[in-house]
Amino acid sequence: MGSSGSIIDLFAWGGDGWTKPLLIGLGVTMACACIGYALGLVLGLGVAFAKLGQHRWLGAAATLYTTLLRGVPPLLVIFLLFFGTNGALMWVARGFGYTGYIEVDAFTVGVMAVALVSAAYSSEVFRGAHAAIPVGQFEAYTALGLRPLAGLWTVIIPQMFRLALPGLGNVWIMAIKETTLLSVISLAELMRVVGVAGRTTGQPFIFYGVAALIYLVLVAISSRAFHVLEIRMRWA
C-alpha cells in the first residue's frame, strides 16, 4: 500500500487495510494489561500485608521489592525479564537433567512485567487504604469473636478495596500505558502494529494519531468506570 492511498483504503477491513490488525493489536494490549493488572493486585495485596505484618525479614523483603520496582524504569524491567527469564529457567532445568532450550514467549514476559510493576504500586495503595481504616473496625471484629484471618477477609479487605479504588484506577491506567513498551520485545500489541503500519504505508502520523485517540478513549472509559464503581461501593 503506497502513501497515496486514501484513508478509506488505509483502514479497510480486508485486503491491505489495517483495521483488523489494529484491533488484534488492541486485543493483545488489553489482554496483557488485564491479566498483568489482576495478578499485580493479588501480589500487591500480599506485599502490602507483608509490610504491615510483624515479621521483620518479610517486611524488609517487601520494602526492598517495592523500592526496586518503583525505582527502576519499566522498560528496564521488561528487558531484564526478557533476557533473564529464559536463562534462569534453563539453569533450573539443567539441575533436573534437562539440557534443551527453553524460551518464554513475549506475551508471557509482558504479563510478568505488568504484574510486577503493578504489584509494587498497588501495594502502596493498599497500605495507604489500610492506614485509613478506623481503629474501631479492627476492634469490632475482635469483639464479635472473629479470628484474625476471618476478620481480615470479611471486614478489613472489603474496606481496603473501597478506599483504594481511586489509586487502583491510576495503577490500571499505568498498566495500559506500560504495554506500549512491549513492542521492544516484538510483542504484536497495538503500538507495534501501529509502527509497522506507519512504516509500510508511509503514513506514520495518521497511524500514531489513531493510536493516541485509542489510548485516550481507553483512559477515559477506564476513569469513568472506576469513578462509577467508587460511587457504588461508597453507598453499598
pLDDT category at 3 given cuts 50, 70, 90 is very low
Higher pLDDT, residue 141 or 221: 221
The cell for 222 is 477506564
Confidence at residue 1, expressed as pLDDT on a 0 to 100 scale: 43
> Mean pLDDT of all residues in the chain?
89
Q: CA-based angle 65:68:71, to the nearest 5?
A: 140
Taking the C-alpha atoms of 179, 41, 47 and 138 in order, what is their torsion angle to the nearest 10 degrees? 150
Section 157-174 average pLDDT: 92
Report which of 100, 118, 108, 114 is spatially closest to residue 82, judged by C-alpha positions: 108
Q: In this structure, is the dihedral angle defined by the CA atoms of residues 41, 46, 47 and 52, taken in order, positive or negative?
A: positive
Section 143-169 average pLDDT: 83
The cell for 205 is 502520523
**Residue 2 resides in a domain:** no
What is the CATH classification number for the domain harbouring 36?
1.10.3720.10
Confidence at residue 74, expressed as pLDDT on a 0 to 100 scale: 94
- Residues 224 and 114: their CA atoms lie apart, in Å, by 22
**Residue 136 resides in a domain:** yes
Q: Are 230 and 167 in contact (CB under 8 A)?
A: no
Does 98 have pLDDT greater than 60?
yes
Confidence at residue 14, expressed as pLDDT on a 0 to 100 scale: 77
**Residue 186 resides in a domain:** yes
Section 124-136 average pLDDT: 89
Confidence at residue 5, expressed as pLDDT on a 0 to 100 scale: 53
Q: How many domains does the chain have?
A: 1
- Residue 224 belongs to what domain range? 7-234
pTM of this prediction?
A: 0.89
DSSP string, 59-73: HHHHHHHHHHHHHS-
pLDDT category at 236 given cuts 50, 70, 90 is low
Q: Are 59 and 51 in contact (CB under 8 A)?
A: yes
**Residue 21 resides in a domain:** yes
Report which of 55, 48, 88, 52 is spatially closest to residue 171, judged by C-alpha positions: 48
**Residue 1 resides in a domain:** no
In tens, the pLDDT along 24-57 reads 999 999 999 999 999 999 999 999 999 988 889 9
Does 127 have pLDDT greater than 90?
yes
Report which of 191, 196, 169, 194 is spatially closest to residue 181, judged by C-alpha positions: 191
CB-based contacts of 111: which residues, under 8 Å, 6+ apart?
32, 35, 36, 39
- Residue that has been written with the C-alpha cell 502520523 in this structure: 205
- Residues 146 and 136: their CA atoms lie apart, in Å, by 14
Higher pLDDT, residue 195 or 97: 195
Q: How many CB atoms sit inside 10 A of residue 212's CB?
A: 11
- Residues 24 and 10: their CA atoms lie apart, in Å, by 16
